[in-house]
Amino acid sequence: AQSVSQHNHHVILSEAASLELGCNYSYGGTVNLFWYVQYPGQHLQLLLKYFSGDPLVKGIKGFEAEFIKSKFSFNLRKPSVQWSDTAEYFCAVTANQAGTALIFGKGTTLSVSS
């Protein structure tokens, strides 16, 4: 079965600082990887995903993530955070098979101070 580990529970940054959130997954087969974001009071929405091809994936709002297969990792990065990036970030994995659902990590709360 798949599982996802997010190393940081709560990250606090100042505006313009760089961000990296760790994510490791456990699964022996081919996977699809996702980062979802949940802004305060809003629904979960997709930030970016890796399906195949270039392991460096660019998403919305300047976020990117790199899939490193040998490390089973899919870390999320942003070079310069903004106050509006304050949210909860979830890494998720699904096996590359039809009908399989997302398995989520525990989430990382990002607080950005202005």
Q: Is 8 in the site for other proteins (CB under 8 A)?
A: no
Q: Does 104 bind other proteins (CB under 8 A)?
A: yes
First to last CA, the chain: 41
Give the SS3 label for residue 107: coil
What is the Cα–Cα distance from 47 to 85, expressed in whole angstroms?
11
Report how far residue 6's alpha carbon sits from residue 3's, in angstroms, rounded to the nearest whole number.
Answer: 10
**Interaction of residue 96 with other proteins, rule CB under 8 A:** yes
Is residue 94 close enough to count as binding other proteins by CB under 8 A? yes
Cα 91 to the chain's mean position, in Å? 4
Binding mask 14-43 for other proteins (x = CB under 8 A): ------------------x-x-x-----xx
Token pair, residue 94, equals 């699904």
- Report the site for other proteins in 73-92 (rule: CB under 8 A): 90
As measured in angstroms, the least distance from the Cβ of 32 to other proteins is 4
Binding interface with other proteins (CB under 8 A): 4, 32, 34, 36, 42-46, 49, 51-52, 90, 94-107
